[in-house]
Structure 1
Amino acid sequence: MTQQHTLNAADTQRYRLFAVAADSTLARLMLAFLATAGLFYVNIMPALVSGLIEGRGFSARDAGLIGSCNVYGAAVGAFIAIFLVKKLPWKTAAAALLLLLISLDLVSMLLTNPLPMMLLRAVHGLTGGLLVGIAFAVMARCGQVHKAFGMLLLVQFGLGGLGVMLLPPLVPLFGSWVLFMALIAFSLTALLMLAFLPAYPLLPLATQHGAAPVQYRPLLAAILAIFLFQAANMALYAYIIELGEQAGLTLSIISPALGVSAWLGLLGSVLVIWLSTRFGRALPVFISIMITAAATYALHYSASAAIFWLANLAVGVTWAFSIAYLLGICAEFDQAGQMAALGGFASKMGLASGPLFAALVIDGGSYSALINIAVVLLMLAAVVALYPCRTLDNANA
């Protein structure tokens, strides 16, 4: 039994006139903007947390919890989207969700109390998570799907780097509303692009006869490694501006370091494509995560601008490199693709849990304990990841 959305003659003619080619680079760019719009605040999380502290007078703990609520909401939304993407008219749903995101960001500009902000950003996250889930489902209908996700990384790291470089210095000048205006501008851009995307009708359900059974033990290990890795990284990333300032650095040093670090994430994703599995998975993943741990430990010496820069640049490359491999490993354990979605859910849960955990650890104002705990979690993630990596390497030997 198959499912397929059909278009009437008028719809078909309209899409011919206004839509870009379904498998074109421009279509992939537009889909990347659509997917990024729901989670762009993650890419500028340091700017958002710092802006709430500097511009609204929120405590570091409250600002971190607000960021965490945002991403937890996104995790829930992404999970719900798994069950809705085949039932909703995706363009109408995406447009409605983008308009809701814009409305929530407008209201966020008016709130001055942490608790209402936490609740509102949780709803914002839920909305964005639904949008990302829909966008990912549509991207899966493109030809050469890996190119669509490559474009997604390009947009996320490129514009995310620009955001963390330019936004923090603007908060003291214009106030924290500038952060939400940046999110609104991104959503408006995605809404405009949505009008030019083709229909991407739902494809027939893939047959799963003869598919190998899912190996749940190594799969669960891969999911745990993703959670640990993302939580450890985001715990520090959310507070990296405050960490640098506490060490005596200025925004003129911190913001460019974060921007260039985000852009170097593009190098990490390119390295994954180039290396592929020529050296297996276990060795590249283990080395990459251990480098992340070493660079994270180096943040103890952030009083040196050179060390702060080098540590962030190293994490920028290895973060993108490692998570691309780990998410790919989840997909390889399930030919039907459902476990890849579960890996994405684990990733969002890790991204949400990091700021929450950090907000509790740094309540006393010290970042040393947070750095040490993040290093331990990263090393644990590297060890846990060896099991699924070796399982796949041995199976393909």
Structure 2
Amino acid sequence: MQPGNGDWLVGSPTGLELAAALWLGSVGLLILGLQPVLLGALYTEGHVSGDELALVATAEMVAIAIGSAVVAMLLSARNMRWKSAVLLVLLAIANVWTAHALSPGMLITARAAAGLAEGGLVAIATELIARSRRAERIGGYFVTMQTLAQCALALLAALYVIPAAGSAGGFNLLAIVCVASLVVAWIVPDEYADLPKEENFANVLTVASMTALSCVFCYFMFFGAVWAFLEPIGGQFGIDGRTVGLIVSTSLAVQVMGAMTATLFEARIDYRIAITAIGVVAMVSSLVLASGPGLTAFWVAALVMGFILLFIVPYQIRLAITADETRTAVLLVPAAQLFGLAVGPIAASLLIDGKDFRPVPEFAAASAVASVALLGLFILATRRRGATA
């Protein structure tokens, strides 16, 4: 990559090179859309119990977060084609390993290994996004592409692959996507030009950066808590599992709409207003679920949550850029999001009393409030930083 042009701080990737990098990141996050289908198949086939299923899901989420942070922070942005190819091969192997795993322990280990490779692929995309002058807009393209891919693959797996070949077929399908994507790996820029200032951990260990990343973490903790327990929450209020499954499937399409809408409007709305408004909507939606809603209210609350999930992402990217102009903090936004998705269900589960799942959406509402409160602290920190400067 050569010195930057008007659209890039450094470098000047072509549209095809950018699309290739975003696709590789999307491959790393395909599991987010497929987890309910694939893990549900593992549970139905008797490979894991309910508790073991949660451990498999959590292990992979945490590993993706760790993988994205490690690759973004510790490895240089050189030889990206080879790194992309190696990560795709490792992920393909982990998916095939999962398909043949016979015990819960092996499944947890295989999905944790897959998560590390998936996180590395996410970093391939976020490293390039961080170098754009319009990182928020490209972040919107990224979440749109990944969600469309998740929708298509979830539909293929649920309707054709899993009925014919079981959960093993679903994981083998992911492996095939990885191998096919090796062609794309040779399109990404081989080197990402260095950002104007050196990337290092010190840029993240500031009040502004830590508050911004904590704001992101709490927001995704809200969503992770509700989504993991949506079926038992619905069941408590007389909504059957099949209907909840339809709501989850519909939500994926609504998430695409949210991502596309954010891409169109990200430049017209101040990130502080957007994050605050979305936090309020998240709180209200969670309280609706805690209030014993009827079927219509349950549908509306769940779909609203699906819409705002990805709508907020471009604004969170802007938040991280404002916190750290060297853009090191931006590289850790996916890690903060994924840690939130992983911690939310675990934290909420500690509040469940028998078969009463009301504390889960109540916890989610508190997480949304915490996210908005942290935004307020961030605004105060940045004002103080500006006054000091």
Task: Name the TM-score class by shorter chain.
Answer: 0.7 to 0.9
- The corresponding residue for 2:50 is 60
Between the aligned partners of 1:147 and 1:271, the Cα distance in structure 2 is 11
- The corresponding residue for 1:118 is 108
Residue type of the alignment partner of 1:68:
T
Between the aligned partners of 2:17 and 2:353, the Cα distance in structure 1 is 45
Residue type of the alignment partner of 1:354:
G
RMSD, matched Cα: 3.4
- The corresponding residue for 2:253 is 263
Q: By how many angstroms is 1:360 displaced?
A: 5.1
- The corresponding residue for 1:186 is 177
The answer to whether residue 274 in structure 2 is matched with residue 284 in structure 1 is yes
Q: Which runs of 5+ in 1 are unaligned?
A: 6-20
| Conserved? CA contact 1:300–1:371, under 8 Å | yes
Q: By how many angstroms is 1:140 displaced?
A: 4.6
Write the mapping of 1:1-397 to structure 2, written as runs, cut at 5 A. Answer: 22-24=13-15, 26-86=16-76, 88-140=78-130, 145-146=135-136, 148-164=138-154, 167-168=157-158, 171=162, 174-195=165-186, 197-207=187-197, 216-241=206-231, 243-244=233-234, 247-251=238-242, 253-276=243-266, 280-300=270-290, 304-358=294-348, 364=354, 366-389=356-379
Q: Which deviates the most, 323-332 or 94-103?
A: 323-332
Q: 1:364 to 1:186 in 2, by over 3 A?
A: farther
Between the aligned partners of 2:349 and 2:51, the Cα distance in structure 1 is 4
Between the aligned partners of 1:359 and 1:330, the Cα distance in structure 2 is 30
- Tell me the TM-score normalised to structure 1 length: 0.80
| Conserved? CA contact 2:26–2:145, under 8 Å | yes
Q: How many residues align?
A: 371
Q: 1:139 to 1:221 in 2, by over 3 A?
A: closer
| Conserved? CA contact 1:69–1:121, under 8 Å | yes
Helix, strand or coil at the partner of 1:175: helix
Between the aligned partners of 1:270 and 1:392, the Cα distance in structure 2 is 30
**Alignment identity in percent?**
19
Between the aligned partners of 1:356 and 1:164, the Cα distance in structure 2 is 25
Cα distance per residue 1:29-59 (max 9 Å; x no partner): 3322201112221233333443332233522
- Tell me the TM-score normalised to structure 2 length: 0.81
Between the aligned partners of 1:311 and 1:295, the Cα distance in structure 2 is 5
Between the aligned partners of 2:156 and 2:246, the Cα distance in structure 1 is 8
Q: 1:65 to 1:331 in 2, by over 3 A?
A: same
Between the aligned partners of 1:205 and 1:86, the Cα distance in structure 2 is 11
Helix, strand or coil at the partner of 1:44: helix
| Conserved? CA contact 1:101–1:187, under 8 Å | yes
Q: 1:112 to 1:119 in 2, by over 3 A?
A: same
